[in-house]
């Protein structure tokens, strides 16, 4: 098990550079197998999800090579292989191999995906999409087998019941080479969807409307990468460092940001009183003064991201008066961090899945556990604010999605180490 040890209470300052978006990267790597030529991805974050996806690629004889921030993937000798379990369970996004294998071979055999413990995460909309394209979907022994009809997948209109990021991406991957037109109505609008569409369109796919709620895909016979693709910056990593900077920063500049991707988040923290100055692709967060308490409801993009509700929670604790309310409408059960924050002395409760936050003058280091990636980010910020030593168990969950986090925190002056300890 990985353990993060923090000696907190010191103001941090300096510069931090945001990596490529985890939620783009974990879709683009599976999508690369749709290419009939080698793929180059630039700006790839150093995160455990990437290592696990590379292992899954190698199970299909797809050679990949990751150097600095460049990932080369050569799918030219790919063999159609079932991906029943093992690494499939280590991350949520392994489900993108369903759409990608279906698009490439007309068949996918993929184990049920793993991922964060944040409440129920059904994939019925993904399945509905594959079936609308004519595929037969069988679910047996925790393994999903998806088979295209004899004449290949046929374009169709799919109305998603909710704007699911994963279903939108999976249907795009499956339909890029389907016959005729596919329409995804009530599609997710997240920036990572646009990134996937840009990546595939540059390979010869015809996808229009990504970033709106109606996406139209005209099937083409084959696609092949021609130019390297640079992954968009990670808006969730950026939001995490903004929260950290406002909680414990003495002036922090965060580089490689697309500000527009953070609009609803920035509006909220600025409403609380955090002063932020924007430059071209960077934001400077001033040391925070007295902050106002606030209420937050998460929603689909462009709403307040569920993946930022936990990283922003320590900031609400620093408000001087009032009661804060956080409601996660996407994952109402995503409240595992609250009990851990209470161990550190936070005045915070959960009632009927609603998080109630009260001003907390002092956090004290404690031994806590990162039940999932963003709970880990929340505890990491709390540990940096707290007096004394904080030990975060299961810190591997932080490393799933935070690029070179130890190195970045050191650059800001933090006393943080990550170590391996035997599992209990």
Ligand X SMILES: C=C(OP(=O)(O)O)C(=O)O
Pick the binder of ligand X from 373, 375, 379, 416 (CB under 6 A): 373
Give burial (CB, 10 Å; 0-12/13-18/19+) of 99.
buried
Give the contact letters, 285-314, x = binds to ligand X (CB under 6 A), - = no. ----------------------x-------
Tokens at 323, concatenated: 């009661």
Closer Cβ to ligand UD1, 92 or 337, answer by number: 92
Quick check: 118 binds ligand X (CB under 6 A)? yes
Alpha helices in 36-181 (DSSP H): 48-58, 96-105, 124-132, 165-175
Pick the binder of ligand UD1 from 6, 60, 167, 197 (CB under 6 A): 167
Residue 325 to residue 350: CA distance in whole angstroms? 10
Quick check: 401 binds ligand X (CB under 6 A)? yes
Residue 224 to residue 236: CA distance in whole angstroms? 30
Least distance to ligand X from the beta carbon of 306, Å?
A: 7
Residue 374 interaction partner, one of ligand UD1, ligand X, none, beta carbon < 5-8 Å per kind: ligand X
Least distance to ligand X from the beta carbon of 250, Å?
A: 28
Quick check: 166 binds ligand UD1 (CB under 6 A)? yes
Pick the binder of ligand UD1 from 122, 151, 289, 422 (CB under 6 A): 122
Residue 374 to residue 150: CA distance in whole angstroms? 43
Residue 307 to residue 291: CA distance in whole angstroms? 22
**Residue appearing with tokens 């920036």:** 191
Residue 375 to residue 379: CA distance in whole angstroms? 6
Least distance to ligand UD1 from the beta carbon of 398, Å?
A: 14
Active site residue 116: yes
Partners of 146 in beta bridges? 108, 137
Quick check: 25 binds ligand UD1 (CB under 6 A)? no
Quick check: 45 binds ligand X (CB under 6 A)? no
Angle formed by the axes of helices 191-201 and 165-175, nearest 10°: 10
122 is in an annotated binding site: yes
Tokens at 25, concatenated: 């990267």
Give the contact letters, 89-108, x = binds to ligand X (CB under 6 A), - = no. --xxx---------------
Q: Residues 237, 192, 190, CA angle at the centre, nearest 5°? A: 95
**Residue appearing with tokens 């692709």:** 281
The single residue of 51, 61, 116, 195 carrying the catalytic annotation is: 116
Least distance to ligand UD1 from the beta carbon of 310, Å?
A: 11
Residue 230 to residue 82: CA distance in whole angstroms? 29
Quick check: 225 binds ligand X (CB under 6 A)? no
Quick check: 151 binds ligand UD1 (CB under 6 A)? no
Of 70-78, 120-128, 319-327, 402-410, the segment contacting ligand UD1 by CB under 6 A is: 120-128
Quick check: 275 binds ligand UD1 (CB under 6 A)? no
Quick check: 187 binds ligand UD1 (CB under 6 A)? no
Quick check: 198 binds ligand UD1 (CB under 6 A)? no
Quick check: 234 binds ligand UD1 (CB under 6 A)? no
Pairing mode, strands 181-185 and 157-159: parallel
Q: Which of the 8 DSSP states describes residue 179?
A: B
Quick check: 124 binds ligand UD1 (CB under 6 A)? yes
Residue 165 to residue 161: CA distance in whole angstroms? 12
Pick the binder of ligand X from 14, 82, 115, 302 (CB under 6 A): 115
Residues 319-358 that bind ligand UD1 (CB under 6 A): 330-331
232 is in an annotated binding site: no
Residue 99 to residue 293: CA distance in whole angstroms? 43
Quick check: 87 binds ligand X (CB under 6 A)? no
Residue 384 contacts residue 244 (beta carbons within 8 Å):
yes
Residue 138 to residue 264: CA distance in whole angstroms? 40
* E runs forming strands in 169-294: 181-185, 206-208, 214-218, 229-230, 249-255, 276-278, 282-285
**Residue appearing with tokens 């004899």:** 150
Quick check: 414 binds ligand UD1 (CB under 6 A)? no
Residue 199 interaction partner, one of ligand X, ligand UD1, none, beta carbon < 5-8 Å per kind: none
141 is in an annotated binding site: no
Residue 298 contacts residue 304 (beta carbons within 8 Å):
yes
Catalytic residue list? 116
| Residues contributing to the annotated binding site | 22-23, 92, 121-125, 307, 330
Binding residues for ligand UD1, per CB under 6 A? 23, 26, 92-93, 120-126, 162, 164-167, 188, 306-307, 330-331
| Binding footprint of ligand X on the chain (CB under 6 A) | 91-93, 115-116, 118, 307, 373-374, 401
């Amino acid at each position: 098990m990985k353990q993060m040890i923090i000696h907190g209470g010191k103001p941090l300052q300096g510069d931090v550079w945001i990596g490529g978006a985890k939620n783009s990267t974990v879709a683009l790597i599976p999508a690369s197998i749709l290419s009939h030529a080698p793929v180059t991805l630039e700006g790839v974050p150093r995160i455990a999800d990437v290592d696990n996806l590379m292992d899954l690629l190698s199970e299909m004889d797809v050679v990949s090579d990751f150097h600095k921030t460049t990932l080369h993937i050569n799918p030219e000798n790919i063999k159609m292989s079932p991906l029943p379990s093992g690494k499939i369970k280590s991350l949520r996004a392994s489900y993108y191999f369903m759409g990608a294998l279906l698009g490439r071979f007309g068949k996918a055999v993929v184990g049920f995906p793993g991922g964060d413990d944040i409440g129920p995460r059904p994939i019925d909309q993904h399945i509905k999409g594959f079936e609308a394209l004519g595929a037969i979907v069988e679910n047996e022994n925790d393994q999903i087998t998806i088979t295209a009809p004899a004449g290949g997948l046929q374009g169709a209109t799919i109305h998603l019941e909710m704007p699911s990021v994963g279903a939108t991406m999976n249907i795009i991957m499956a339909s890029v080479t389907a016959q005729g037109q596919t329409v995804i109505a009530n599609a997710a609008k997240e920036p990572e969807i646009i990134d996937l569409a840009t990546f595939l369109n540059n390979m010869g796919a015809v996808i229009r409307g990504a970033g709106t709620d109606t996406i139209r895909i005209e099937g083409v016979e084959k696609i092949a990468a021609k130019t390297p693709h640079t992954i968009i910056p990670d808006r969730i990593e950026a939001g995490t460092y903004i929260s950290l900077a406002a909680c414990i920063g003495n002036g922090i500049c965060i580089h490689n940001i697309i500000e527009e991707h953070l609009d609803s988040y920035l509006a909220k923290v600025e409403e609380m009183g955090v002063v932020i100055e924007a430059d071209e692709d960077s934001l400077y967060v001033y040391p925070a003064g007295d902050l106002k308490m606030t209420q937050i409801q998460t929603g689909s993009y462009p709403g307040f991201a569920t993946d930022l509700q936990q990283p922003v929670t320590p900031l609400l604790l620093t408000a001087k008066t009032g009661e804060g309310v956080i409601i996660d409408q996407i994952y109402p059960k995503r409240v595992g961090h609250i009990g851990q924050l209470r161990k550190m002395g936070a005045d915070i409760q959960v009632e009927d899945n609603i998080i109630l936050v009260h001003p907390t003058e002092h956090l004290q280091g404690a031994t806590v556990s990162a039940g999932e990636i963003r709970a880990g980010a929340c505890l990491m910020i709390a540990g940096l604010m707290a007096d004394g030593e904080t030990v975060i168990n299961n810190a591997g969950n932080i490393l799933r999605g935070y690029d070179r986090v130890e190195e970045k925190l050191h650059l800001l002056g933090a006393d943080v180490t990550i170590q391996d300890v035997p599992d209990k």
